[in-house]
Amino acid sequence: MIRCDTNNLIFALHTVHTSYIMGVDAKGRLLHMYYGPLYESDPLAPPAPVYDPGTLPDRLPQEWPCPGLGDNHAPFFQPEFASGVVAADLRFAAAETVPGKYTLPGLPAFRTTGAPGAETLRITLKDAAGLTVTLLYGVLPGSDMITRAAVVENSGDAPLVLRGVPTAVLDFPQESFPALDLITFDGAWGAEFTPCRAPLRPGVQGVGSVGGIPTHAHDPFVVLCDPGATETAGACWGAALVYSGNYRIQAERTPLGARLSLGIEPFRFAWTLKPGERFTTPEAAFVYSADGLAAMSHRFHRAIRRHLLPARWADLTAPRPVLLNSWEACYFDFDEAKLLRLAAAAKTAGCDLFVLDDGWFKGRDSDTTSLGDWVADTRKLPGGVAGLCQKINSLGLAFGIWVEPEAVSPDSDLYRAHPDWALHIPGRETLAIRHQYTLDFSRAEVRENIWRQLTDLLDSCPVRYLKWDMNRTLANVYSAALPAARQGEVYHRYVLGVYDLQQKLTDRYPDLLLENCSSGGARFDCGMLFYGPQIWLSDKTDALDRLMIQYGASFCYPPCVMGAHFSTVPNHATGRTASVEARMAAALSGTFGFELDLTAYTAAELEALRPFVQFYRDHGALLRTGNVYRLLPPDGAGAAWAIAAADGSEAVVFAAGRVLNGRRLPLPFAQPGSRYAVCAAYTGGARPGAWQPEPAAGARLRVQGLHLPAVPGDMPGYIAWLKETDAE
């Protein structure tokens, strides 16, 4: 709900549990006043701060801080006028409330669908020199989410250049917030999403990317929280940027307080606005919790599931296919006969979908060639993709395929015909990364060529799943289609091009299950989830490593969007061995599939996998829609977690590693007045099909905890299903 006091110019955004309040001071400056627990007092909001000419401008908690007029925080907004002036003085001009949440042309954003009470507040700020900024605030009440974006318009009579533009800024006054912790989610290839928590120190700290994609190093999501905040207590502010390109999220601590800023990375960003032209920023999404990190995560998960995923896939109670991906089974070494044997084994194990990964297109025997030529290699597939698809379908499996549309190999027909279509700096050698270049997706004709190739492929047979990969960062960033003065637009235009093509793809093929990937989690962000309902979380399939990766990702992202597969042992990347139950625990917590050569399994071993597949079918709706509880954080040796129904009536508890030492595990979702049936499987114990329920009191489970078995070995696993049976 949005409430506006038009007499005092105070604007309050309310969700079920939170409030976000702004006010206009006597000089017309829009100030941030409050973001926290639901503010229900009268008057509408706390008194607006009063500033006189003797006050430092740094003390102004402005909703849209401007450079050049005494605000000495690290600048984010940098409008450069034709005169060379880089300064702005934006004052309040108008405000309006409209039902429903705003949309952003050409950009992903949280949706209004299924959001009763969703509203938009538009606040217009103007600079007399010829600049207008319209701030957009979206309210998703039931998900406790506030979103922000902005439209910057050149309302003058000469061109201006944006050399930096934020999406949102949030101030935390020193007197109210003397100390805060910053949590970021960092890593590398195969080690994404490691949480890093540290006190917010004086100066600027933050995360970002200049690689054209978010990269493995940092995710575009951060948390500010009370120093004492835990999973179940303390104030937490989560902030995510709904964007898939270069970005910056920075927190700055000064003696006057802290400021959090989110937006496009200013490096190599320079966007020219002619008179009357507008620039729309990406969206930022905020969630506040007074009850710790778990509640913050639950609210983000609820909003992503309800309001971000494509409409076709928003019903998470509907079945999702269990797939087998061919990559770790075959790599580039396969022919049609080998693929069909693999598919037959996948069917025996209970899979629904067979996915053909890299190596299927002409001349593709290694990663050194052929990207950009999306036509089947008939040496491997005599009947082409359509012929293989028909044979896969005859086994009772749906068919999916891998592509990397943004890349081109120097050794490819596409590059030989159109070398200028790759990003390339004139007069310099083009840098190959992973033996490939990047196509200039800022150009419509480049996207059109890839679009034709993709539609030819997808129209040739019933492809039900498409894995869209992107295996390198951008370099040589220069477009042959833009003049020198507009090269600062290429990075952002590239991202808009990716969004454009994925929107066309999902519009034309609404039933296509699109899974994005970028060497694993290098482009795992809310922007990509707008187009595809799941993302391959990491190329590391080792069960122990996955515990940390999936743990870190869960602070923002629900398990239903995390690509997770059961793989072989010893693991191809680490050489480690883990039990079937440990590997299943990690895989069942995500989208669930297989990534191994099942033709090496005996008939009995394949049959032993089927109960786990059936478990996913039986409990998939709970696993995709439930709340995540991080019960024992990964410590390098193991972890425990649960996914529970919102009312605590049902849950799946997972544990893996050396935490299986006979301890008791308190379950915060268990209802004290209820009794539960507990069905468990673990290494050395029964398979899911043979589970025997044991009764347990909800109060005991909540306080004393669930008794975990003591299981020897480095990576045993445990999976328990709890179901409320009756009241105590």
- Mapped onto helix, strand or coil, the DSSP state of residue 697 is strand
**Helices assigned H by DSSP within 308-440:** 327-330, 336-349, 384-394, 413-417
Is residue 213 a contact partner of residue 219, using CB atoms and an 8 Å limit?
no
Q: Which one from 219, 440, 469, 545 is the annotated catalytic residue? A: 469
Is residue 219 a contact partner of residue 185, using CB atoms and an 8 Å limit?
yes
E-assigned strand segments in 295-366: 323-325, 353-356
Q: How far apart are CA 420 and CA 55, in angstroms?
A: 55
Distances (CA, A) of 554 to 256, 288, 703: 33, 16, 24
539 is catalytic: yes
Is residue 563 a contact partner of residue 590, using CB atoms and an 8 Å limit?
yes
- Mapped onto helix, strand or coil, the DSSP state of residue 560 is helix
- Residue 134 phi, psi (nearest 5): -105, 115
Pairing of strands 534-536, 562-563: parallel
- Residue 48 phi, psi (nearest 5): -70, 140
Is residue 274 a contact partner of residue 334, using CB atoms and an 8 Å limit?
no
Q: How many CB atoms lie within 10 A of CB 176?
A: 10
**Helices assigned H by DSSP within 383-438:** 384-394, 413-417
**Encoded tokens for 336:** 């049609």
Residue 202 preceded by cis peptide, ω within 30? no
**Encoded tokens for 255:** 């003696």
Distances (CA, A) of 727 to 429, 644, 649, 669, 672: 72, 18, 11, 15, 9
Amino acid at 424: H
Residue 43 preceded by cis peptide, ω within 30? yes
The radius of gyration computed from the CA coordinates of the chain, to the nearest angstrom, equals: 26
Is residue 265 a contact partner of residue 149, using CB atoms and an 8 Å limit?
no
Q: How far apart are CA 320 and CA 348, in angstroms?
A: 18
Q: How far apart are CA 323 and CA 71, in angstroms?
A: 54
**Encoded tokens for 524:** 């795992």
Q: How far apart are CA 351 and CA 349, in angstroms?
A: 6
Amino acid at 418: H
How many residues make up the chain in this entry?
728
Q: How far apart are CA 687 and CA 609, in angstroms?
A: 9
Annotated catalytic residues are 469, 539
